[in-house]
A and B are shown apart, each in its own frame.
Chain A
């Protein structure tokens, strides 16, 4: 059972866009790291920060954001290779089981770190400290993405179970 070709196309395009965005982010980060200034950040910097402090904070934030984005891109990369692997026609392989699990874990880690970053960002740069527990109406909402991550992990367990059942079936005489 092969996955639809549109799925592969969509994931490939998403992966390419994410990769381009990440490379641009890396270039901007390198620019800031070597003394460049961006007006984009000027509006968010709190008055209580000195210029040197805010620059350090921006660099740290940017570095963490880049790292988290890299993890997310890696998760998309795994999904891409999983789709390629499904195309071979072999199902419930060890690679698929571990790939699905890792994808789920990465999605959860990236979402949690992003949430934490947003919290710290608002506290540091906007002088606004608060915790929200809102459920947005969209597929990009925090809780929905966490659920998607958990779903991937659950899917990997289903695959592991299916693998065991298939082995038993093959060894039934």
Chain B
């Protein structure tokens, strides 16, 4: 997938753990893991909005496009 998820880096910068974020945005840790590992096929706007709000960042900070 040419879309990379930089969630790990942002979480590290914010000193936040995955399970904390999962709890704040209201998704399961399994689903957050799918997102972090790049296995996700799609991300809902509502999820993206919740992540951005919880981590105080922009969607572009989390998602990155790279050519294959």
Q: Could you tell me which A residues sit within 8 Å of B by CB distance? A: 167-168, 171-173
A78 to chain B, nearest CB (A): 31
* Residues 35-55 of chain B, each 1 if its beta carbon lies under 8 Å from chain A, else 0: 100011111100100000000
Q: Could you tell me which B residues sit within 8 Å of A by CB distance? A: 27, 31-32, 34-35, 39-44, 47
- Which 7 A-B residue pairs are closest in the complex by CB-CB distance? A171-B41, A172-B42, A173-B35, A168-B41, A173-B40, A173-B31, A171-B40
B54 to chain A, nearest CB (A): 14
A150 to chain B, nearest CB (A): 31
Q: Is the interface of A mostly helix, strand, loop or mixed?
A: mixed
Give chain A residues whose Cβ lies under 8 Å from the Cβ of B41: 167-168, 171-172
Give chain B residues whose Cβ lies under 8 Å from the Cβ of A173: 27, 31-32, 34-35, 40, 42-44, 47
Q: How far is the CA of A12 from the CA of B39 in the complex (A)?
A: 43
A172, closest chain B residue (CB): B42
B36, closest chain A residue (CB): A173
Q: How far is the CA of A168 from the CA of B44 in the complex (A)?
A: 12
A164, closest chain B residue (CB): B41
B28, closest chain A residue (CB): A173
B24 to chain A, nearest CB (A): 14
A49 to chain B, nearest CB (A): 66
A172 lies within 8 A of B44 (CB): yes
Q: How far is the CA of A81 from the CA of B31 in the complex (A)?
A: 34
Q: How far is the CA of A102 from the CA of B43 in the complex (A)?
A: 36
